Structure 1
Amino acid sequence: MTINTASATVQKAANTYLVPGFEKASFPVPTDLLVGDAWVPGSGGKRIDILDPATGGVLTSVADATVADGMAALDAAEAAAAGWAATPPRARAVILQRCFQAIVDNVDWLAQLIALENGKALPDARGEVLYAAEFFRWYAEEAVRINGDLSIAPAGGNRIMVQYQPIGISLLITPWNFPAAMATRKIAPALAAGCTCILKPAEETPLTALAVGEILRQAGVPAGVVNIVNTSDPASVCSAILRDRRTRKLSFTGSTEVGRILLREASYNVINSSMELGGNAPFLVLDDADLDAAIDGAMIAKMRNAGEACTAANRFYVQEGIYPAFVEKLVEKMGALKMGAGTDAASQCGAMINRAAIDKIETLVNDAVAKGASVRLGGKTPEGAGFFYPPSVLADVSLDADLLREEIFGPVAAVVPFAHVEDAVRMANDTEYGLAAYVYTENMKLGLQLAERLEYGMVALNRGLVSDPAAPFGGVKQSGLGREGAHHGLLEFTEAKYIAVNW
């Protein structure tokens, strides 16, 4: 396939958004649908208002895709599929490397855009952009390492040859909490494997995905290889795409409830599905832990993105000997955080995504307090505009509190004391989720033993951050299927083909 690096100039977006303060950025953000090589307004003529969580006001609007638009994106992906699959791995890798560099070159205004439409603080937004870029660099390196296998059949009758081929057209559905990183974590391995794709970003935060889409076009991704459809009717649009036999892969990040629905939709055509679903991460602190290190780790695990992360520490189980000091220091650290609009350079805790998020946090906190929890910090929604909730610490949370059962997705730390390590393991595993867990102890042997016993896909030992593009990201139980990142994430977009051969 001939790579047309000038394809981005074929058609400019008719509707655009200028990021305040960055009017001279590389390009204005498109607000239409990306179908093939065209930014189109959509067949329905409707728009979706995009809100600023810090004020509740409207930033701009984006095109609202219909089922017909979803089918047009599928047509475009099909038209580009054979050529992209046949593109040499090195050529795909070069384009992916360009995508990495282009995102890095645009980090400042992309971070501002994320802070505006998502509400997160600028340091978190900037960190997300750099993290998002890394997936293109990693998969540029992995694209040339899709190795097969060759062996002799045990009976000696033939050779067993295995090769990995692109799985085909992929539907990628991403959440609002990491609008750049969740898109690139799916797009990069899909492209590295030789697949074309349709990205359906979250209705709340499509602007970042659209900006990334334009960056990819300008970096030389051919027409139709990446298509983007924003929609206020994701159920209908995604169902139509999944029930079309041309679609061969579904990759979804979001709630477990929606994941179950999508799996049912995917079942009609037996579509290969990767699911990164909900979490309820426990954070275990043993008596022998380095207290300052544990607090620093807790701040990262809890307050990254103001707690709006599937890997966020939800339940803090702290051994009795260190419990009073841990609570005191956690209150001190979280109480020092400045809450404010994400675009405020001094802000460390931005707004929640919408009013529904605040309502859920309030409900869970009130339930925990009614069941005996002690509010040591925060615990009350402030007055004023925007969707803000303060950093909060609840101590002595009862084991029957809903706060320990449900993913809070906010800046609230629920702390529970425990006496014996066995109690901590039992409480940590007492959930339907199994995405991420955290352990702090100076006894490395015990820490590794606990890591093996915890029923989670990822365990951070004496670390508050678990995500890395080079590591397999994913959970067990109701937290999902498959893995993203690492070489594992690339194989999710391939099919293993076995060829029996004699020579």
Structure 2
Amino acid sequence: MVLRTASRLVVSFAITSRNARSLTTGSTVVSRLNDSSLLDWNKESSSSLTSFPVFDPASPGTVLAEVQSVDAAEAIEKSKDALASWRDDTTASFRSTCLSEWSRLVKSNSEDLAIIMTLESGKPLAESKGEVNYAATFLDYYAAEAIRPTGAGGGFMVPSPFATPSGGPKGNVLAVQQAVGVCALIAPWNFPMAMITRKAGPALAAGCTAIVKPSELTPLSAIALDNLAKQAGIPSDVFQVVTVSTEETPSVGELLATSPHIQKLSFTGSTRVGKLLMKQSSETVKRLSLELGGNAPFVVFEDADIDQAVTAAMASKFRNAGQTCVCADRFLVHSSVHDIFVEKLVEKTKAIKVGAGIEADTTMGPLITLQAADSVLEKVRAAIEEGATCELGGNRLDGQFFEPTILTHVSTESDIWKTESFGPVVPVVKFETEEEALTIANDSSVGLASYFCTENLSRVFRFSNSLEAGLVGVNEGIISSCVAPFGGVKESGLGREGSHLGLAEYLETKYVFINS
């Protein structure tokens, strides 16, 4: 494998006055972006707030930007004041048009958006381009859903048959779907655009106003999306981005969770933080969508097409350097095909080119922080000390880069097996029977994604039905889609995103009885 160092790209924010903020780009960034105005950041604030740095994961210590914090309390007030006009005074057709135009702008600026995403997240440019297109699909999908009778519809009434309640008056029972209200959308750093549109698309389609709090590690992607949303005709107070530092994030999260003006909170992130937000939100009985941590099993049965299984494993494990909630984390391989699977996986993995995501031929970028790289190294070393065999990799490279790693003879009690690794590590365990594989796969407090490979159709239905996970991939490693309901079970969260169920999360049903 090859390690490539990062090109230096500098972005700086300049405070032009006490109450206004704007972004000025360095010449290197201007030369890379076709439209540098994507990173314009003009906000009005009644107070002078702090700023925080955004670092280049491919070059630790290199500051890409200094971003001004935004007052979350002011954003809540603006969102609350804008709710009635967006929910009641616009039609579903108008909101649909805005989302469609937003999608068109995202697609037409896809090259620049991918560069911005790669610089701050570290993921390879090809993956960033894929995510930009994926982000646009949610805008397209919810633009279409907004105008369906079963969608937002601006308060569409669905009459039941003429009702004669026992002991009550004769009349019609109506169900009215209405926007939940002001929504707080907390997005992660590993998918800094798609996780915003997956939340904001249905929220805006339903008639809600939305406050997005992006990760402090990747705020530039959110800023670019915000600028395009404004160009698409979405009012500035209807869709807002609140950028804050790492130090400010806990207090802002608590404010969003406890504010009585926010009716719904959607969060994608760790189980630990999700539990805290759930507790904080209980005081105001908010509606919650929580997509939390995972520890996905990847099971290879004796009858699997091994080449197909290896391809699926590569896609699932090494995307974004293993830093996704749906990455395969625990590999269970039938003893009869264990050696050939590992051999083929090692050969495929050797072809991975590790380096700065901005380089065209990089296929795996750095981990997001130095602490993340330290954590992966600690888990790998502990697993080896406990008896695991390192078939490939196992070492930390310069900065935040880590070798793609394959471990066999891993203990199912080891930390790298029992906890989400969030790194490019494949821990492999043998199994003998389907029952044994199921027991090991389900032995987890979380249940987001799961994968298995088999040619047996009966097993496909039997095993997928028994897996304790919200998502199941059969003979495939990447299964996310805007038309599919995405979410977990157990401690992996509540609710679903994507599909028509994702829109339902932002709608309340009101019962109206009309005396006839």
TM-score range with shorter-chain normalisation? over 0.9
- Tell me what 1:369 maps to: 384
- Tell me what 2:159 maps to: 150
Contact in 2 for aligned 1:13/1:31 (Cα 8 Å): no
- Tell me what 1:341 maps to: 356
Give the drift of 1:41.
6.7
Contact in 1 for aligned 2:57/2:121 (Cα 8 Å): yes
Partner of 2:22, secondary structure, is coil
In the alignment, which of 78, 81, 84 is matched to residue 82 of structure 1? 84
Mapped partners of 1:143, 1:22: distance in 2: 39
In the alignment, which of 136, 139, 145 is matched to residue 139 of structure 2? 136
Mapped partners of 1:49, 1:496: distance in 2: 43
Give the drift of 1:155.
4.2
- Tell me what 1:498 maps to: 511
Mapped partners of 2:38, 2:97: distance in 1: 24
Mapped partners of 1:368, 1:31: distance in 2: 47
- Tell me what 2:324 maps to: 309
Give the drift of 1:134.
0.8
Mapped partners of 1:501, 1:349: distance in 2: 61
Partner of 1:45, secondary structure, is coil
How do 1:39-438 and structure 2 match up within 5 A?
A: 39-40=43-44, 43-56=47-60, 57-65=62-70, 69-86=71-88, 87-147=90-150, 149-152=158-161, 153=163, 155=165, 157-232=170-245, 233-382=248-397, 384=398, 386-438=399-451
Give the drift of 1:31.
6.4
Amino acid at match of 2:417: L
Amino acid at match of 1:250: L
Partner of 1:463, secondary structure, is coil
Mapped partners of 2:128, 2:85: distance in 1: 35
Mapped partners of 1:59, 1:247: distance in 2: 33
Contact in 1 for aligned 2:21/2:68 (Cα 8 Å): no
Give the drift of 1:40.
3.7
**TM, length-normalised to structure 2:** 0.91
Contact in 1 for aligned 2:298/2:332 (Cα 8 Å): yes
Contact in 2 for aligned 1:16/1:29 (Cα 8 Å): no
Mapped partners of 1:15, 1:416: distance in 2: 50
**Alpha-carbon spacing, 1:22–1:136, altered in 2? closer, same or farther (3 Å):** farther
Mapped partners of 2:433, 2:31: distance in 1: 54
Contact in 1 for aligned 2:384/2:390 (Cα 8 Å): yes
Give the drift of 1:223.
2.4
* Residues 66-88 of structure 1 deviation map (CA, whole Å, 9 limit, x = unaligned): xxx11111111112111110210
Mapped partners of 2:125, 2:35: distance in 1: 20
Mapped partners of 1:41, 1:297: distance in 2: 48
Percent identity among equivalent residues? 41
Amino acid at match of 1:201: P
Contact in 2 for aligned 1:277/1:479 (Cα 8 Å): yes
Give the drift of 1:160.
2.7
Mapped partners of 1:107, 1:22: distance in 2: 16
1:15 aligns with 2:23: yes
* Residues 167-191 of structure 1 deviation map (CA, whole Å, 9 limit, x = unaligned): 0000110111010111111111100
Give the drift of 1:161.
1.6
1:472 aligns with 2:485: yes
Amino acid at match of 1:70: A
Give the drift of 1:405.
0.9
Contact in 1 for aligned 2:38/2:228 (Cα 8 Å): no
Contact in 2 for aligned 1:280/1:314 (Cα 8 Å): yes
Give the drift of 1:24.
5.2
* Residues 371-421 of structure 1 deviation map (CA, whole Å, 9 limit, x = unaligned): 111101110102x3x310111111111111111111111111111110001
Mapped partners of 2:52, 2:295: distance in 1: 31
Partner of 2:451, secondary structure, is strand
Mapped partners of 1:319, 1:146: distance in 2: 49
Amino acid at match of 1:261: L
Runs of 4+ deviating beyond 3 Å: 16-19, 21-24, 29-32, 152-159
Cα-Cα RMSD:
1.7
Mapped partners of 1:42, 1:308: distance in 2: 38
Amino acid at match of 2:338: Y
Mapped partners of 1:74, 1:22: distance in 2: 37
Amino acid at match of 2:23: N
- Tell me what 1:8 maps to: none
Mapped partners of 2:217, 2:149: distance in 1: 36
Give the drift of 1:238.
2.6
**Alpha-carbon spacing, 1:444–1:22, altered in 2? closer, same or farther (3 Å):** farther
Contact in 1 for aligned 2:25/2:36 (Cα 8 Å): no
Contact in 2 for aligned 1:29/1:207 (Cα 8 Å): no
Mapped partners of 1:96, 1:496: distance in 2: 23
- Tell me what 1:3 maps to: none
Contact in 2 for aligned 1:17/1:29 (Cα 8 Å): no
Mapped partners of 1:24, 1:316: distance in 2: 41
Partner of 2:482, secondary structure, is coil
Mapped partners of 1:310, 1:294: distance in 2: 20
**Alpha-carbon spacing, 1:329–1:349, altered in 2? closer, same or farther (3 Å):** same
Give the drift of 1:21.
6.0
Amino acid at match of 1:79: D
**Alpha-carbon spacing, 1:91–1:398, altered in 2? closer, same or farther (3 Å):** same
Mapped partners of 2:375, 2:164: distance in 1: 58
Mapped partners of 1:304, 1:149: distance in 2: 44
Q: Aligned pairs, how many?
A: 483
Mapped partners of 1:426, 1:135: distance in 2: 35
Partner of 2:447, secondary structure, is coil
Structure 2 alignment gaps of length 5 or more: 1-18, 151-156
- Tell me what 1:26 maps to: 35
Partner of 2:436, secondary structure, is helix
Does 39-48 or 212-221 show the bigger shift?
A: 39-48
